[in-house]
Structure 1
C-alpha cells in the first residue's frame, strides 16, 4: 500500500503570522495552493510539505496524498480501521479521515 506524499496539516490561529514564521524556517508557499485570503496554504522546504489551515479544524492532521484513495480506504476498512469521514463519490478527487489507536487524526487526500 503506497500512501503517497506525506505532509502535516497544521491548525493555526493566524495564518499570516504562521506563514511568516515558516518562511523563516525556509518554507515557501506553493503557487495556486491556497492563500492568506483563503485562510489556507501549502508550503514546501525541500521534500518537506506542511499545510497551514486557519479555522478549518481543531487538531493537527497527518496527511498523505495517495493515487487511489478509494482502494486504500477499502483495504483499511477490511482491516477494521473505522473511517470517521469516508470517501464520497466513485471517482475523482476525494479524501477519508480516520484516527490511529492514540487518537491522532490521519487524512488520505487525493487531488
Structure 2
C-alpha cells in the first residue's frame, strides 16, 4: 500500500515500549488534528475505546501510523 518509509507513534508507550502512566487517547488526538485540517488516510472509530489506529501523511507523502495499544 505504501511505497515510502512509515513512521509509527504509540500513545501510551515511551521510547522503550514501556507503558506510560497517562497519555492522550488516540480519538482525542484525531479530533484535535481534524480541527487543524490534517488529512487522514485511515481514521480511528471515534465511538470506540481501547486499541485503535489512524494514518496520516507528512508533507513528503510518508505515512505516519498512530497506533494505540490499550
Which structure shows the higher strand fraction?
Answer: 1
Answer whether TM exceeds 0.5 for this pair: yes
| Structure-1-length-normalised TM-score | 0.45
CA apart distance, 1:57: 5.5
- Given the alignment of the two structures, is residue 106 of structure 1 paired with residue 64 of structure 2, yes or no? yes
| Structure-2-length-normalised TM-score | 0.69
The unaligned stretches of length 5 or more in structure 2 are 12-22
Structure 1 residue runs of 4+, over 2 Å off? 56-60
- Given the alignment of the two structures, is residue 97 of structure 1 paired with residue 42 of structure 2, yes or no? no
How many Å separate the matches in 1 of 2:2 and 2:38? 21
Question: Deviation string for 1:38-96 (max 9, x for gaps)?
Answer: xxxxxxxxxxxxxxxxxx85443100011411111111111000111000252110000
**Which protein has the larger Cα radius of gyration, Structure 1 or Structure 2?**
1
Find the counterpart in structure 2 of residue 22 from structure 1.
Answer: none
Find the counterpart in structure 2 of residue 61 from structure 1.
Answer: 6
Number of residue pairs the alignment of both structures matches? 56
Matched ranges for 1:15-26 at <5 A: none
